[in-house]
Amino acid sequence: MITTDSPATILLIDDEESLLESMADYLEDRDYQILRAENGRVGIEVFDRHRPDLVFTDLRMPELGGLDVLRHITEISPETPLLVVSGTGRISDSVEALRLGAWDFLLKPIEDLSIVSHAIESALERARLRRENRSYQKSIEEQLHQARKMEVVGLLVGGVVHDFNNMLCAISGNAELLLADLSAEDPQLESIEQILDATQRAANLTQQLLAFSRKQVIVPKTLNLSHLIMGLHAMMARLIGDDIVLKTIPQKRIGLVRIDPSQIEQIVLNLAINARDAMPDGGDLVIETANVELDADFCAGYTAAIPGSYVMLMASDTGIGMDAETQACAFEPFFTTKEPGRGTGLGLATVLDIVERYGGAVEISSEVDDGSVFRVYFPRVTAEVEPHSPTEVSSVPKGGTETVLLVENDDNMRYLARKILRHLGYQVLTADSGDAALTLVEHYDGSIDLLLSDVVMPQMNGRTLAAKLSEQHPGLRVLFTSGYPHDVIACHGMFDEGVCFIGKPYSVKLLASRIRAVLDGTD
C-alpha cells in the first residue's frame, strides 16, 4: 500500500538484463524502491512475498511470460497497477494483456526512460485516486481506462498494420492466383479456400481494431438503409454459411441516415457474425429495417440518443441467447464468451462505438436458449440520397493490354502485383522506389497508361512521384495503394476529390476492377 511518507515499491520483471539494470538505476534515482526479477516465475514469487505497489513486466520471457504474471496478479490483487513492455509485434498477445488487466503498454526499444517514469507516475496516481474516492472514481476510471485502451490499441495497430496488410495481401493474392488455376475436383482446392478464409478474417480483425481505435477516416453519406441491406444480402449469406437461413425484410418507405457506408457494412457484418457464432447448429437470422420514434424515457438510458425520429436496423437470431450478466458486458471491449481463437471481443464494442458517434443507440433483447435481438437506431435525416454500391466486385476479373508502371518498395507486394497484372494481360514495368521509377521512365521509349504506386515510400512518396511523371505524361492515369491506416494516408491527400486509391489487403478481383475503372475513366 502506498503512503505519503514512504516511497512506492516497483517490481520490474524482464529477462533483458541491460534494460532491467538501466530502469532500476533510473527509478531508484527518483526515490522508488525497486524489486527485480529476471523471469515470470521469479517475478510471481517476489510479488507474493513483497506485494509491491506496481508491477512492470515484459510479455515474452522464459520460465513463465508476462501473460502468466498478469493472470496471477489480477486474480489475487486486482487493484495493483500492471504495466506491460514488449518488443513483440503480435497483436494477439497485446490484446490478451489488455484483457487481463494491463493498465498501460510500452513498446521496446525504450530509448527514453522518462517514458517509463511517466507511465509509472500516471498509474500510481490513478491507483491513489481509486482508493481515495472509490465510489465516484469507478465511473470516471472506466471512461479513462476505456480511452486508454483505445489509445493503446491505436498505437499497436498503427505500428504493425502496414506490414501486416502487406503480408495479408501477399498471402491472399497468391492464393487467389493458385485457386484460379485449379479445377473444381482438385484436392488442394479446400486448403487454398481455407487460406483465403483465414486471411479475410485477419483483415476483418485489422479493420475492427482500426475502427475501435478511431484511426479510420470517416466519409459520411446520406443513405437508404433498406437499399444497402439488400445489397449486402449475398455477402452476408456467404459469411454465415449454408446451415443458417438468412432473411432480409427492408421497409420500403424508409427514412434516410447519414453515415460512412463502410461503417454501416461493418456494423451489419459484425451483427451477422455474432449471430452465426450463436447458432453453431444452424438456425435463422432475420435482418429488418423500420422507421421508429424514440421518446425521452427510452433515450434517458442511452448515452448519445435524443428524442426524435430514427431508422432502426434489427438483427434477430434463433441462437443460444444470453443471460442478464452476459448482456450487461456484451459491449465491453475485449469481452467475449467464445473460446480462445474464436473471437476478440471487439465486434459489438465496435458496433456501439460507431453508432454512438452518430448520435444513435444499440439495444439488446435476449434470453438463454431463446435467441437474441439487436436493435440499432440511427438518427433520421432529410437530404438527397448519395450514390453508393456495397463492396462487391465482378466475379470475373477483367484485364487489358495497356502498360502499367508498378512502383512498390515491398518486395513481396511488388512480386504479387506484377504477377496479378501480367495474369490480367497488362504490360508491366516495375520499380522499387520513386527515383528508380523516374530513371526507368527516362529510358523507356513506349507509352505508359497507368501508374500503380504505393503511397508511403522512402525518399519520394507516391503523390510526389505521380506529380513528376504527370508533367512528362499529361494523360497518365494514377491509382495509389497503401497498407497504412487511413489517418496516415489521409495526410497524403488520398481522400481528396479525384484521387483514386485502393487499400491493402486487396483481392485480385478488386484490384482488377479498380485498375479497369481508372483506365476507363469510370472511377
What is the CATH number for 409?
A: 3.40.50.2300
Q: 3-state secondary structure string, 448-468?
A: CCEEEEECCCCCCCHHHHHHH
Instruction: Note the helical H segments in 372-497.
Output: 411-423, 434-442, 462-472, 486-490
Same domain? For 444 and 338 the reply is no
pLDDT score for 79: 86
List the domain range (segments joined by +) for residue 102.
Answer: 9-132
Q: Is residue 1 part of a domain?
A: no
pLDDT score for 181: 79
Same domain? For 317 and 419 the reply is no
The stretches in the chain having pLDDT less than 70 are: 1-5, 88-91, 132-162, 201, 204-219, 334, 337-345, 385-397, 485-495, 523
pLDDT score for 469: 92
Q: Is residue 506 part of a domain?
A: yes
pLDDT score for 392: 47
pLDDT score for 1: 40
Cell numbers 511523371 correspond to what residue?
469
Provide the domain count of the chain: 3
Q: Is residue 200 part of a domain?
A: no
Domain's final residue, options 114, 132, 150: 132
Q: Is residue 396 part of a domain?
A: no
Q: Is residue 179 part of a domain?
A: no
Same domain? For 509 and 372 the reply is no
pLDDT score for 4: 42
Give strand pairing partners of 33.
Answer: 9
Local structure of residue 362 (DSSP, 8 states): E
pLDDT score for 393: 46
Q: Is residue 348 part of a domain?
A: yes
C-alpha cell at 307: 428524442
Contact 150, 214 (CB under 8 A): yes
pLDDT score for 394: 46
pLDDT score for 493: 65
Same domain? For 375 and 407 the reply is no
Q: Is residue 434 part of a domain?
A: yes
Q: Is residue 168 part of a domain?
A: no
